[in-house]
Chains A and B, each alone.
Chain A
Amino acid sequence: MKQYIVYSIPLAILWCFVNGDISIVNFTFGLVMSPVVIKPFKSLYNFEAEVSIRNDIRRIPKQLRYLAVLAIEITKANIMVAKIVLRPRININPGIITVPIRAKTDVGITAIANTISLTPGTLTIDVADDKSVLYVHLIDIHDREEIRASIRDDLEEYVLEALE
């Protein structure tokens, strides 16, 4: 029962945004309707996990810092790829390398993969079966170890702090 309420609040907020009208009436309507949505797709939500609201609230500053880092990285990525596109002659060295990761949970791996896809010159292709290695496509390889180190030290720290 507690899980229903916790999962209903994001759905109600989403309903407010999609409907384009943030008000108490609309939010309550979303809150009432969302268990109807959650019930058939119960297997997609992990009901076994223990929800602790206090733990979630404590993480919010770290998540905000992660979002700020993400915004800066996305802007840098766009300027870099735009430069590549605007070059008169395209000379790039693309390739696929492996990047070891430390994240263990599914949420963490998804977050790190999406973050890598949005940051400069990298694109996640697949995750290995044992969830320890990501395959990353790079648009311009100059130094393999440097890229691995930058992913491990800069991005993964924030993801681990924010989501695990």
Chain B
Amino acid sequence: MSKNIESDNNPFHLKWNFPQRKTYKDYTTSNIHIPMRDGVKIAVTICLPKGIDPEQKLPTLLYQTRYWRAAKLRIPFRWVLKETSIFTPSPALFTKRGYAIVYVDVRGCGASFGSRPYPFSKEEVKDGADIVDWIISQPWSNGNVVSNGISYTATTAEQLAVNNHPAVKAIMPGHGLWDAYTDVAFPGGCFDHAFVQLWSFVGRNLDQNNSKAFKELIPYLWLLMKGVKPIDIDTDQKILEEAKEEHLSNEYVYDLLHDKDFRDDSLPDGATPDEISSFIYQDQFEKSNVPILSWCAWLDSAYIDAHINRFINLKNPHIAIIGAWNHGALYPADPLNPDKPEVTPSPKERITTWIDFFDSILYGEEIKGKTLYYYTMGEEKWNKTQVWPPEGFTRMKWYLSENNTITTKKPENDAGEDNYKVSFTATSGRLNRWWTLLGLPIDYSNREKADKKLLTYTSPPFEEDVEITGHATITLFLRSTHDDGAIFAYLEEIDDNGNIHYFTDGNLRLIHRKISTDTPPYEILIPYHSFKKKDASPMIPGEITEVTFGFRPTSVLIRKGHRLKLAIAGADKDTFRKYPTDGKPTITIARNASYASYIDVPIKKKNNS
């Protein structure tokens, strides 16, 4: 990074370098339609600082969403709150510092016209450029546009850069996908049935302006919001009704994917799930050279894979941050410190850093190079690195051994195996890393009970503090009674009192077990499974086979005296589809001299003296 002064490795303590500017107390809102290149009318809400001079020129924050750009609130809330009150944190934090904000309903959504074949379609991406053209033609615009967002809106912010529009100066994707197949729909090739179905349900209701769907899922939104905010001239909502009619042609990902298995399965228009991804735009991102501040959390679904993959693959100037919170950073999520009462930094502190980043780029100094700030769970400390994985770590193998143990000593016996009859009632719960994609808190405090249905292996107590940071992998030599199945592997630590703390996991559907020798579509740091039809093969019942896959990246400190635990399941019933569909396999895991199953973990021993 350029000349920013850092007091420590906490990215929220960065001292940014930019001049102070005039601040504003309040903001105005207006709601209009903007015509796109093909005539589709896109609804926008424009927030401008109150009291700006007519000749005042402002940078614009662009925020493109599929979750309603603004709300028509219910009474009495509507009487005192603005239509943008649903956003956390308040847009006032940006307008206060002299930014205009343009909130957008992407085509096919909210009060916009048009329809969508799937999320992040090519047309949706192009709309970003049309909207930027409109912004910079406004009398209040200074010609600079930045974009941020969380989750869906992270991807719209990121893909704004695809257009290589010269007015786009910086992007800030928070908790955004990189590869839709592995990050969201099919992590490890296993269909995340729960999220994809719920997300599609929510989307369908949003697009028909039905807030009733929120009552069970996000109750405060149901109580607060009557629907999407119509444009200002649409006082009888007739224009909104016309837009809703067009949304009836929308497609939803559950309908598109629920009968699919492979990365190269076709969607109705001949596209593949890759069309929904960001990685396909790597060349355009790099050509734009737009600076990026990306942020995510260790326990956020497979979005943490997305985050690391974005960091290692893009050459753009880049600040990446990994914290210990849920998807969207409303709740803390550090399983080794489960009693932490609230998320740090606070949303207000976080957003201040985000605005500082934009101010620095627009008014201060450019961002150079790449830096990743990461929080080590259990140590409660921020670290930073220019490369991932960080330097100074060595790989250590722990072998599955007798009596449900793992040890650093390779087995020497010719025999040794464990049978596991798959429990299809096994679950990591509904407050796991996958359900947090709905914004829910994360809670893995039930591992003692959950592990009783799993095959587990525990290490001896550690003789010193050990930091695990990076991607661990698992290699199992196994046979099954069935031709399909899945392995879910959990890494946990056991403290002095016997409390079990989950910290990461990995999973793989067994038909995808082939390690591909093809070049991956982007650089990855774990064994490459293509998830393509040509590489899939059923298991041969009774035949031993090698299965290797990566755990999701982590950073955790295991204290001296604590133990490492590996727990293996064949299902996660509240999240993933059941493999195989019928039957109840027994999986036999070998742990002997010929077939030594193991985990391979990046470690750094800490000096305890």
Asked if chains A and B come from one complex, the reply is no
B-to-A contact residues, CB < 8 Å: none
A-to-B contact residues, CB < 8 Å: none
